[in-house]
Amino acid sequence: MRLGFLVLFVLLLVKPLYAGGLALVIANDSYDHAPNLRGAEQVLDLTAALEIAGFQVVSGRNLTTEEMRAQLSGSYAQLRRDGADRVIVVLAGHFVHSRSGAWFLGVDADEPGLALADGAGLRLDVIMEIASGAADAAQLWLAGADLSRGSYGDGLDGGLPPRLLVPQGVGVVRGPVPQVVQGARAILRPGAILSDVVDQTRNLSGEGTISPLVPFLPAGFAPLARADRQAWADAQETDTEAAYQSYLERFPNGLNAQAARGAIDRLRNSPERIEDALALTRDERRAIQRDLTTMGFNTRGIDGIFGPGTRGAIRGWQGGNDLDETGFLTREQVMQLAGQAARRTAEIEAEERARREAAERDDRAFWDATGAGADEAGLRSYLERFPEGIFAGLARDRLEQMEGAQRQQRDRAAWEQARRRDSVDAYESYLVAWPEGEFTAEALARIDALDPPTAPDPEDQARANARAAESALGLTGPTRLMIEQRLAGMGFDPGATDGAFDADSRQAIERAQQHFDLQATGYVTQDLITKMLSDTLRSFFD
């Protein structure tokens, strides 16, 4: 007996701690013709732990029978070619069994019955035989649901059989998915004994070679430190609280445990986390953007969304206030910014009031300097300088009154000239120039007296109708002025643009009517006004 222990001791000394491991992990949780197995995908989380422990891992999810066969065949070929000290197979999904065998079903299985069972899944005895080729130890972890109520065809029952015929050197552990994942993780800790893991994990049961003495991975297994370093590197790359917590769960006393706790504290007190804890509403974020804008920092919009523009504005404001330029706000900084913005708003309002008061003083001073509206030149000079000024309305009213008086004077002068000539031509010239004049009725009466009406000439009648139609429009002085200005803008010279339709104006109107293919009468019609307005709008957009 002592010699046997001595030989074993010598073999352990000369044998390297680790020569290689091979793992096959399959999670089938979504079946075409059977209930889905909720949570089966959790076994895929073992992949990283297996790789860290030095296993070459082949894994897949929701595989058909053919796909599973391909993976098993590849794993077997690798095992035969390269060998492996340890083999782990983890299967999560639906199993069926008969009196002589058991199968792990592909997701495409459909009530195969015993005769076709080999075509619907992987035979567990084949998997165990392949795994037994490991040099040191082989384990098969099986996670599935109780499907005894399902129908799988003649000769098959759902689930695993009570016992499996397990070859020498292979340990089989079965249980629910969470416990299988928990146990498989535990066995990957160097020094862990499979029998202890099975006994200490609720709802796990084992059969076959469940060693009570030899650990699956030797104590002091070299990949432990590497696993620690790799897990720490992964946590640092992810740089989240969850990643560091995961590291501490696996390595509570690891090489980087203290650094992981420090990183968690850092993240919990990170500027982003502190701002998130404020739970700012959309309106509160808009208020902050307005405050930043008030302080002269461009947020590129006030929309309640803190994008690159807002973050840059926050950093600028923080830098201007000797704060850490994080781009994220604390509660104290929000209050500080709001206070500054309120003071700046008050300053802006005071500056605006001062500006308005200064502008009002200049307005009044210029009004007084130009004669306080006493003459036309002063009124026009004031309106040119202050078109929206304090006295702008008064200035326009007075100008309109002055222009009205001037029109009355020109009207009376034209009438007196016609009276002196006292001829039909003279009165008609007056009517052409002043169709709405003060003496229109008298002119018409005098024409009738000098030239009693005869049978109406069609052309004269058309002209009279056109004159009457223009009169019916009720054109005001400003409207006539605008028409003359538009005629001039179109290139039809109306003569003096003074709101009085003289002979030049009538000729310009007639040319405009010809331009728009309207009846050329020399008198304004609604059609002409419409055409001119449309032409104006078109030229504006062109």
Give 486-502 pLDDT, tens digit per residue: 898 889 888 888 888 88
**Contact indicator for 158, 147 with CB cutoff of 8 Å:** yes
Q: What are the φ and ψ backbone dihedral angles of 364, each rounded to 5 degrees?
A: -65, -40
Q: How far apart are CA 528 and CA 535, in angstroms?
A: 10
- Of 215, 206, 105, the C-alpha closest to 163 is 206
At residue 146, the pLDDT reads 57
Sheet holding 95-97, edge to edge: 121-123, 102-105, 95-97, 157-158
Mean pLDDT of the chain: 86
What does the pLDDT read at residue 147?
46
In the three-class reduction of DSSP (H, G, I as helix; E, B as strand; rest coil), residue 105 is classed as strand
CB 338 within 8 A of CB 348: no
Is 180's pLDDT higher than 90? yes
Determine the Cα–Cα distance for residues 207 and 102; give it in Å rounded to an integer.
15
> CA 498, 500, 504 angle in degrees (round to 5)?
95
What is the DSSP code string of 415-478? HHHHHHH-SHHHHHHHHHH-TT-TTHHHHHHHHHHHS---SPPHHHHHHHHHHHHHHHHT--HH
| pLDDT over threshold 50, residue 421 | yes
Query: Could you give all domains of the chain from N- to C-terminal order, each with its CATH number?
Result: 19-208 (3.40.50.1460), 223-269 (no CATH), 273-347 (no CATH), 458-542 (1.10.101)
What CA–CA distance (Å, rounded) separates 344 from 349? 9
Confidence (pLDDT) at 261: 92
In this prediction, residue 64 carries a pLDDT of: 94
Tens-digit pLDDT profile for residues 427-438: 888 888 888 888
The pTM of the whole model exceeds 0.75: no
**Residue with tokens 């923080």, as numbered in its chain:** 318
CA angle, 274 as apex, 270 and 275 as ends, to 5°? Answer: 120
Structure tokens at 452: 């009693």
Decide if 244 contacts 263 (C-beta within 8 A).
yes
Output 135-138 pairs: Cβ under 8 A, ≥24 positions apart.
Answer: 135/19, 135/83, 135/84, 135/85, 135/86, 136/85, 136/86, 137/85, 137/86, 137/87, 137/169, 137/171, 137/209, 137/211, 137/214, 137/216, 138/86, 138/87, 138/88, 138/89, 138/169, 138/170, 138/171
Q: Could you tell me which residues are beta bridge partners of residue 58? A: 24
Average pLDDT over residues 405-423: 89
Give the pLDDT of residue 104: 94
Share of the chain above pLDDT 70, in %: 92
The number of residues making up the chain comes to: 542
Which tokens hold the place of 341?
């913005």
Of the candidate ranges 227-231, 253-257, 258-262, the one whose mean pLDDT is the lowest: 227-231
**CA gap 36, 30 in Å, rounded:** 5
The answer to whether 89 touches 131, Cβ cutoff 8 Å, is: yes
- With residue 173 as reference, give the H or E element that holds it: strand 170-175
For residue 262, count other CB atoms closer than 10 A to its CB.
12
Write down the pLDDT at residue 14. Answer: 33
Question: What's the count of helices (H) and strands (E) in the chain, helices before strands?
Answer: 21, 10
Strand partners, 105: 121
The pLDDT of residue 10: 31
Query: 13 pLDDT exceeds 80?
Result: no
Share of the chain above pLDDT 90, in %: 41
Q: Which of 66-70, 339-343, 362-366 has the lowest mean pLDDT?
A: 362-366
Q: What are phi and psi of 147, to 5 degrees?
A: -115, 30
pLDDT in tens, 104-145: 999 998 888 898 889 989 999 999 999 999 988 999 999 986
The single-letter DSSP state of residue 253 is T
DSSP 46: H
Q: Give the C-alpha separation, 454 to 446, whole Å.
A: 15
> Cα–Cα distance between 217 and 66 in angstroms, integer?
33
